[in-house]
Amino acid sequence: MSQLASPGQLRMSFARVALVTVPLVLLLGIISGAVAGSGSSNPWFARLVKPAAMPPEWLFPVAWTLLYILIGLALAMIIGARGASGRWIGITLFVAQFALNLAWSPVFFAGHAIGAAFAIILLMIVLTVATILAFARIRRRAAALMLPYLAWICFAAWLTHAIETLNPTAATLAPAPSSTQVQL
């Protein structure tokens, strides 16, 4: 005879899953940025003309840390929704959009390929919207946790496009590092 899980058991299950998903999402995001040489310490990026609406440098690690925590919690909610219809679709969409997220920094900061980074972030937006819709069918709170992330990546897409427009010869500012120069 099977029993339904109590609210306390469900909270503990969520906590166990979140103890894996949140640090994993955060760690992968940090590694992607570090491998790519993200930020103003990147000589190529420092030389680019930035739009007037460019946030201060300190805001990026703060924002990404908070956003990765939120989306890690959202993922934990969906993983914990065992038996929910569409759960694997939501998880698959999350993984796909997150893989694009992880690819963006190396393409932009290490590869100096602003146009390709813009294409990646546009696809990431589409997949994030699909993820939010899939999550909303399972757990509305999980979908709500993804909304600040969607807003930020939309802003990041605008920044990427603005930087590309302001720097039509950006790829020639400095040679892209060879694969042996990128360090973990």
Q: What percent of the chain has pLDDT over 90?
A: 81
Q: How many helices and strands (H and E) does the chain possess?
A: 6, 0
Distance between CA atoms of residues 33 and 182, nearest Å: 12
Instruction: State the average pLDDT for the chain.
Output: 91
Q: Tell me the per-residue pLDDT of 58-107, one tens digit each, with 9 for 90 and over.
A: 999 999 999 999 999 999 999 999 889 999 999 999 999 999 999 999 99
Q: Does position 18 have pLDDT exceeding 80, yes or no?
A: yes
pLDDT-based confidence at residue 8 (cuts at 50, 70, 90): low
14: exposed, middle or buried (Cβ count in 10 Å: 0-12, 13-18, 19+): middle
Q: Tell me the per-residue pLDDT of 124-135, one tens digit each, with 9 for 90 and over.
A: 999 999 999 999
Distance between CA atoms of residues 61 and 133, nearest Å: 27
Q: Does position 142 have pLDDT exceeding 90, yes or no?
A: yes
The answer to whether 57 and 39 are in contact (CB under 8 A) is yes
Q: Does position 12 have pLDDT exceeding 70, yes or no?
A: no
The answer to whether 117 and 156 are in contact (CB under 8 A) is no
